[in-house]
A and B are shown apart, each in its own frame.
Chain A
């Protein structure tokens, strides 16, 4: 009973079980898989994609969608690098990049809420616009990334890990607490779960959605900055396709496309799952073109398991004890 209840109340439960199963199977497939050295490689890009997935997840919980995160992932750090090239110090440049990301989120919110365009279309438009702006403002030739910056605080190495993993942990824990334990978090679930009900109960659903749109864009921008800091170079095409990876991680992590269901930890587990699959394909020297197939299969499997477990849990239905 307790197990069923957990499956029903924790959207990430089945993703977690899949992660465990995969870790087990993959360790049998390749002796290298469960080694520290391999985990170091697997974990390198995780903070970047997981931060994007967290933003997409929280937005999806509020009932909306963002396809522009991959483009913001490039635009926001591009603004930062250009500001640095213009002589601004790093913190100011980072804030500048994040403000641009926030403005993109605000524009997404405006188009979706005020103009009444579905966010799928609104952010599809933004995907192209933000990517185009990235290329235009860099004039096709982005400035070289400054080599003399002290970036230990964000991408430095601590033993086998990069500091960015701790940024992911910190941001993930804070946002997880915010979602589950704070009143605004409750409003996010209510807005996505039933927008009309939330509105009828006095929740400002437009404010909720504007907040989640902006948060989603800013997390994508920040994640892009981490990647630029890590590889110490910027190309206008970075992050292309990340929107689909992030949505895949979100859905694998148990978030419902219709809204009202999802969790931060689910997004992180989803990102880890995708990275594990990519890693095992490399380790076992399977043709890398199978990666997309595996990702596609895992999305379908994960969502099917989610649906099945929820149906099972729903059958163990809660019953009223009438006293009359």
Chain B
């Protein structure tokens, strides 16, 4: 087996007296789509929040691309090339598409981060190019994100991750509340990313979507990993058995 893209060893997370993650060991291979499944409270969200820098693990180590990674803040994760797209909190609805693509990583005409003049023209242009690169065609980068459909928002968030050359993408319930057509489009994005060698962690309650798009299935239950299988080795009914 090739070197894993990301490994965690002995990962624990306590929220007060709640033991949410109980000594997780996991290897995620490079360039594959990993379907992460588990019932509510299984520890999926805790795991991805640690990887994306929203929470810090209580104990344990993370290795990314062979080196130990210390992820204390979302920016640390993004700097490593780990980008997380949350179900509801990936975008600021009132803000324009261009601003959303560059939130926190704005292009400046001059100045330093925190006190710099925005380069609106460059941001609009690059946002449009990034969106076109994932095969989404929007009329203008100035439209507010609230005017986009759920699938379009996923497209813009994925375009953002691609634009910043993320090497690992974590998708949290990306197909929730989407129409069939839009769901297919999002699954298509996931396949596109695998073709480009990006590792994808795909989290969903919809086991059919997970099974359809993933190379491997990792199942969590009660704060730990209970299965790590090739997708071909399992079926949706089997997956249901694993997590319940």
The residues of A with any CB-CB pair to B shorter than 8 Å are 8-9, 181-184, 186-187, 189-190, 193-194, 196-203, 260-261, 314, 317-324
Contacts and interface: CB of A to CB of B under 8 A. Distances in A.
Interface stretch (B17-25, B31-39, B84-92, B220-228): B84-92
B152 interface: yes
Interface stretch (B2-10, B58-66, B135-143, B202-210): B135-143
A157 B86 CA distance: 56
Given A182-B116, A186-B118, A197 B137 contact: no
Given A183-B108, A186-B118, A320-B149, A201 B95 contact: no
Contacts of B91: 194, 197
Contacts of B89: 194, 196-197, 200
**B73, B84, B135, B147 interface centre (most CB from chain A within 10 Å):** B147
16 contacts: A8-B144, A181-B117, A189-B99, A199-B54, A199-B74, A200-B74, A200-B84, A200-B89, A202-B73, A317-B147, A318-B147, A319-B139, A320-B136, A320-B152, A321-B137, A324-B135
Size category of the B interface is 35 or more
Given A186-B99, A194-B93, A202 B117 contact: no
Contacts of B115: 182-184
Contacts of A197: 86, 89-92, 103
Given A198-B103, A203-B103, A184 B114 contact: yes
B117 A190 contact: no
A194 B116 CA distance: 22
A260 B94 contact: yes
Contacts of A9: 144
B92 A260 contact: yes
Top 4 nearest A-B pairs (CB, nearest first) are A196-B89, A193-B92, A202-B75, A318-B147
A189 B95 contact: yes
The CB with the most chain B CB atoms within 10 A, among A9, A201, A261, is that of A201
Given A197-B103, A200-B74, A203-B104, A320 B92 contact: no
B78 interface: yes
Given A189-B92, A318-B143, A200 B52 contact: yes
A202 B137 contact: no
Contact of A321 (B105, B111, B118, B139): B139
Contacts of B95: 186, 189-190, 193, 260
Given A184-B114, A193-B93, A198-B104, 18 more contacts: A8-B144, A184-B115, A186-B106, A189-B92, A190-B95, A190-B104, A193-B92, A194-B89, A197-B90, A197-B91, A200-B84, A200-B89, A203-B104, A314-B147, A317-B147, A320-B136, A320-B137, A323-B137
Interface centre among B104, B106, B136, by most chain A C-beta atoms within 10 angstroms, is B104
Contacts of B88: 196
Contact of B114 (A8, A181, A183): A183
B130 to A, nearest CB: 15
Contacts of A189: 92, 94-95, 99
A141 B113 CA distance: 48
Contacts of A201: 74, 103-105
Contacts of B146: 314
Contacts of A182: 111, 115-118
Nearest to A261: B94
A201 B164 CA distance: 12
Nearest to B75: A202
Contacts of B93: 193-194
B116 A183 contact: yes
B180 to A, nearest CB: 15
Contacts of B73: 202
Contacts of B75: 202
B230 interface: no
